[in-house]
Homo-oligomer: A and B are copies of this chain.
């Protein structure tokens, strides 16, 4: 069995098989869903009945198309073969039709305008994930689509052929087919794995970022877990080689006292693009300033759980808590990282095993049904889809822990980097960003001022105490007004801070705006990226500087 097939089956095995059709189709009822009806997240058994339950309007249309352009038997059975009678489209053109107003997809060499079909899709809005893209990876998983009836239906929407240069082998992509539906307002950086920023205007619009606008950072496809059956294992390795293992259901876990923590999460690579552009190239997702959002998280303290499971409070030195998620890479390895046991047990660290986000169950993109929440730390430590917790004498051995999220000085290259000696990044430094206006904007000056807004944040439980803005390259600094901040005192302050300033705008045609923040440890940001540059482009917290045009 190929790795791909293994992974597919492993993924598939999370769902109860409810039926086998005469033609061998498997259909899966996702028991983990708590939405009602035909939500986008519930492909459900109805998909099986696609050819039966399509509405009357759709049936009419099907008839209409069949009459207009009768497909050959072979064409219908295979679908997506070249049709010389139809125009050719480039993938780029197809990709522009990605809204409910104009919704195109491809299947093999076929291009289809399925805009009118959207309301009738038995799988609901799940189909929106394929907007402007090939539906092959989805059908590779939801194989119930591969019937003559559905091929026929699809071909009835045929409008053209995909350019041969744009044909892609989608056979590896079934892993991505169950990705949750994402809010189109997110600013996508990579589609697979899905990584997307909260756009600046939404960062400053809400103190607690709405769940659907919270930035998303995935390393792998999103696993789907059933809160009813999900179990968390806690493994404590004893000195004599024995293991003490505790397995808890979600219900059991929630017997522990519940706590809420208001905390921002920020990717260690937030603002990587500035470092990349202002100094020299780095490797990683090209985050701008949007890889940070804020939320209220609820759950139980990791500390409480570890004490419940019998961790030795007097023997923490050199020990680590390995956190492992259910997301798996192409070689079948689960995502994993670790934090020091001393940090896990530190009351002020307020580390949660969270089940809710802003009062709602965790969305799939944010770890449903359970994630670690390590406030103040690089978000990579807040492991999603948490499956197991292991107390160990060593840090996690995973690639993500050992070969990433470590910091080097500006003179270390990929050739000279010794990851084994660089300490892992846990807490993140003080940073800030201007969210409005945006770099390159033309801004109208009102009564001699322009309005500037943004966020500031510091990790490790520090609170932002001052935000300074300069409109003249640091010659003059003005203190911004804090418009939203959490009341939690340092060193237990884990939220970001929003700020605003009426900045005097002189008569020149353009303006450079700088922002820097100071935190409760009196740490502040370096002016430039030069001396904090590092091969992975993480921890980029130099002043945020933008250029705008002024208009009277």
Contact = CB atoms under 8 A, between A and B. Distances in A.
A531 B526 CA distance: 9
Interface string A482-493: 000001011110
A348 interface: yes
A139 interface: no
Given A346-B348, A346-B491, A423-B465, A524 B429 contact: yes
A50 interface: no
A347 interface: yes
Interface in A517-544: 518, 520-528, 530-532, 539, 541
Nearest to A466: B409
A477 B410 contact: yes
B521 A427 contact: yes
Contacts of A489: 317, 340, 342-343
Contacts of A407: 466, 518, 522
Interface stretch (A185-193, A396-404, A440-448, A455-463): A455-463
A479 interface: yes
Interface string A405-416: 001011100000
Interface residues of A, number: 53
Contact of A491 (B461, B466, B487): B461
Contact of A478 (B411, B458, B531, B539): B411
Contacts of A524: 429, 526, 531-532
Contact of A348 (B348, B479, B487, B541): B348
Nearest to A475: B411
Interface in A172-227: none
Interface of A: 317, 340, 342-343, 346-349, 407, 409-411, 423, 425-430, 458-462, 465-466, 468, 474, 476-479, 487, 489-492, 516, 518, 520-528, 530-532, 539, 541
